[in-house]
Chain A
Amino acid sequence: MSLTELWHKLGSPRWFYQMSTHWVWGFGIAAIVLLLAGLLWGLLIAPPDYQQGHSVRIMYVHVPAAMVAQSIYIGMGVAGFVLFVWRMKLADVAIAACLPFGMLLTALALFSGSVWGRPTWGTWWEWDGRTVSTLVLLFLYIGIYALREAIPDAQLRARASALVAMVGTINIPVIKYSVEWWHTLHQPASFTLTEKPTMPPEMYLPLLVMVLGVYCFAGYNILSRMRIEILRREQGTRWVRALVTAPTLTGQR
């Protein structure tokens, strides 16, 4: 199957539902394994920091939450773009599915960052570049959620939230580069794609495991929500009715 065929097949709710069954299982099991391993490793086994002591362990929650929250928003922006260009209704399902988990992760990142900041920086909150732009990310999520609540018409809602998702994507590079542009409070990145991490392996390996675990959890959550929404939207079709109805003795549905 060529790439374009695959792409258009992905837009079909029925095919996506069938294909995602395996993905959901995979992501779910991987998430449980990775998160359990990462939490035990990071919270119990990994060494304490020489300056921060045990409070560095919040990093194993804070960093994955922040990374995946940004990635989910990028996913929403891409879905918005797909909606505008290819007019795939599944893209709207994707945007709606990404919102709850993305909001939760952003709030978790802000909360865990605040808790981490109290013992290490002496303050619950500072208005520096990264904290402000992450707060803006939360407001963007809430804004798209409020927008969706305010529009009753389905197609209008889809296009409006896709537009806002795309426009808001400009915030992501701001979050990413804010620690390079402004040297106020938040420390620079622990991970980059190109350089060796500044942390020893005993610390960045559990962090990597946690990041992968939260990604898998996000995948599980978002795909599950998408599947439920597909079932709801396509409830009149034969394949959905066949799925949810038990066959009768005479074979009639």
Chain B
Amino acid sequence: MNIGALWVREWRVLMRNRSAIYNPIAFMFLAVMLFAVGSPVQDNARGEYGAAVLWLIVLLTNMLSLDSLFRRDYDNGVLEQLMTTAPVPLLAVLVRIAMQWLFSGLLMALLAPLLCVLLGLPVRVIGATMLALLLGTPALSLLGAIGASITVGFARGGVLLSLLVLPLFLPVLVFGVSAVNASLGQQSAAPFYWLGFLSMLALSLGPFAATAGLKISLQMQ
């Protein structure tokens, strides 16, 4: 199976459908703006909740970009072709998830300095936030793909997707916030290890569950 061809295809599809990248990022900044405008003016109050709000917005943005992960190809029949004809459907799913992560999780990690400043977090936290996002967002993409694969056939699957996927996101949220706050208070590397562990766990289990979910949605035996 030609993984290079898979990558090229994913890249081309994404480049011809760039709103799938821009819309979640736009939502992210909108959410940050809403929080900043709505919260009280004192900077220290914003700083305390900053990490939690950052991760909350990251989670919701990820969920937005997950909704369109498989939907387009499900609707135009390409997904069914892929699952039936590919020698290893798992690899195709993995490449798809990886491409989605590159343009959601990785992008958010690169935009972290901007997010931190907008949310009123101190500058010294930026490095830790970037690392935490880098380590934690793969788990979000992989676990979210499981929910996306099951709900891809539903017309209004969005809310059900969040119901299924948010419980899985919770550990990433807990350790992500802990990682960002760790660099504010006492230095501790433990949450970063936890985030890495969660991502590795998601990498080992997620693609299989996502492939099974896709086969279920496509009503394949």
Cross-chain contact B160 with A143 (CB below 8 angstroms): yes
Name A229-243 residues within 8 Å CB distance of B.
Answer: none
Which residues on A sit within 8 Å (CB–CB) of B154? Answer: 150
With beta carbons under 8 angstroms apart, the residue of B163, B205, B209 that contacts A143 is: B163
A159 to B217, CA, bound (A): 9
Size category of the B interface is: 10 to 19
Provide the A139-172 mask, 1 if CB < 8 A to any CB of B, else 0: 1101100110010010110011001101110010
With beta carbons under 8 angstroms apart, the residue of A150, A160, A171 that contacts B167 is: A171
- A164 and B167 in contact (CB under 8 A), knowing A143-B160, A147-B160, A150-B160? no
With beta carbons under 8 angstroms apart, the residue of B163, B168, B216 that contacts A142 is: B163
With beta carbons under 8 angstroms apart, the residue of A133, A142, A164 that contacts B150 is: A164
The answer to whether the Cβ of B213 comes within 8 Å of any Cβ in the partner chain is yes
The answer to whether the Cβ of A82 comes within 8 Å of any Cβ in the partner chain is no
Cross-chain contact B164 with A143 (CB below 8 angstroms): yes
The answer to whether the Cβ of B113 comes within 8 Å of any Cβ in the partner chain is no
Question: Which of B146, B163, B213 has its CB near the most chain A CB atoms (within 10 A)?
Answer: B163
Cross-chain contact A163 with B212 (CB below 8 angstroms): yes
The answer to whether the Cβ of B82 comes within 8 Å of any Cβ in the partner chain is no
Cross-chain contact A136 with B216 (CB below 8 angstroms): no
Name B138-179 residues within 8 Å CB distance of A.
Answer: 146, 150, 154, 157, 160, 163-164, 166-168, 170-171
The answer to whether the Cβ of B187 comes within 8 Å of any Cβ in the partner chain is no
Cross-chain contact B171 with A174 (CB below 8 angstroms): yes
B55 CB to nearest chain A CB (Å): 14
A133 to B168, CA, bound (A): 10
Which residues on A sit within 8 Å (CB–CB) of B170? Answer: 132-133, 136
A159 to B171, CA, bound (A): 26
Q: Show 25 A/B contacts (Cβ-Cβ < 8 Å), sorted by A.
A: A84-B212, A132-B170, A133-B170, A136-B167, A139-B163, A140-B167, A142-B163, A143-B160, A143-B163, A146-B160, A146-B163, A150-B157, A153-B219, A155-B219, A156-B217, A156-B219, A160-B150, A163-B146, A163-B209, A163-B216, A164-B150, A164-B164, A166-B209, A168-B167, A174-B171
A147 to B159, CA, bound (A): 11
Which residues on B sit within 8 Å (CB–CB) of A146? Answer: 160, 163
B141 CB to nearest chain A CB (Å): 15
